[in-house]
């Protein structure tokens, strides 16, 4: 899709589908799928995604479920013959918060903002990923939701590099900021009120949101078609 000069590329629906197809059956499929969801469906920046902790997304019941998954993973790794009741434990939607607070240290302008986990796709991706995250538990007790292949927390830089890697492997040009821009464009296409979109995207200035209305060729084309058909 066309983009504003110097801005991250906005992905069309079929392009995003290709990106998800490219990570299918890869070693870190569930983790990377959840990360992409956080960018394209929640609208988080790379440093915000890197900073998310388990405590951010889990409810009280979710923490108990995750603890059971983690204990099960420890027992299973200590003995192949070991079986425990928590092997059958699975995360559920009510184990996840509906929203969480983004720490001011990682938000743009150091504001205290909220991220919303309302999307069914986002919640399903997290539910699929959490058991895998539990197996990656190490004695260092890293609380970050997403871990690198070495079991360490992502930094903003390594998170950006992961997006670059996924872009290269999928053959679709995009960056870590493409998620925010794609989400904002989709919200405009759905006809949401500009102030609602500003709140969802956490734009401090309404003029930033306005750009998506003024530069959206598809939207402007539809408006022209409606106007011309009405003559």
CATH number at residue 76: 1.10.443.10
Query: Which run of H or of E encompasses 101?
Result: strand 99-102
CA dihedral for 165, 134, 37, 59, sign (positive or negative): negative
- State the pLDDT at residue 226: 57
Would you call 201 exposed, middle or buried from its count of C-beta atoms within 10 A (0-12, 13-18, 19+)? middle
- State the pLDDT at residue 136: 79
157 located within any domain: yes
- State the pLDDT at residue 142: 83
- State the pLDDT at residue 5: 45
197 located within any domain: no
34 located within any domain: yes
pTM: 0.85
Residues in CB range of 174: below 8 A, 6 or more apart = 8, 9, 11, 15, 19, 163, 167
The overall average pLDDT reported for the chain is 85
CA-closest candidate to residue 159, choices 143, 175, 174, 171:
175
End-to-end CA distance of the chain: 30
Considering its fold, how many domains does the chain have in total? 1
110 located within any domain: yes
93 located within any domain: yes
């Amino acid at each position: 899709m066309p983009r504003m000069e110097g801005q991250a590329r906005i992905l069309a629906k079929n392009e995003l589908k290709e990106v998800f197809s490219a990570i299918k059956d890869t070693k870190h499929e569930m983790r990377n799928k959840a990360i992409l969801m956080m960018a394209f469906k929640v609208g988080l920046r790379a440093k915000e995604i890197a900073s998310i902790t388990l405590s951010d997304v889990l409810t009280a019941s979710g923490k108990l479920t995750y603890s059971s998954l983690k204990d099960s993973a420890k027992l299973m790794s200590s003995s192949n013959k070991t079986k425990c009741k928590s092997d059958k434990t699975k995360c559920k939607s009510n184990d996840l918060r509906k929203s969480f607070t983004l720490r001011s240290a990682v938000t743009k302008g150091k504001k205290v903002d909220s991220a919303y986990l309302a999307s069914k796709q986002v919640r399903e991706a997290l539910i699929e990923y959490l058991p895998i995250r539990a197996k990656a538990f190490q004695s260092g007790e890293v609380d970050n939701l997403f871990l690198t292949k070495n079991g360490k927390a992502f930094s903003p830089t390594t998170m950006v590099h992961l997006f670059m890697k996924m872009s290269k492997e999928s053959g679709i040009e995009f960056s870590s900021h493409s998620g925010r821009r794609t989400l904002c464009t989709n919200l405009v296409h759905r006809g949401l009120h500009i102030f609602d979109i500003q709140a969802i995207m956490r734009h401090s200035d309404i003029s930033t949101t306005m750009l998506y209305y003024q530069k959206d060729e598809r939207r402007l084309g539809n408006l022209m078609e409606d106007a011309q058909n009405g003559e």
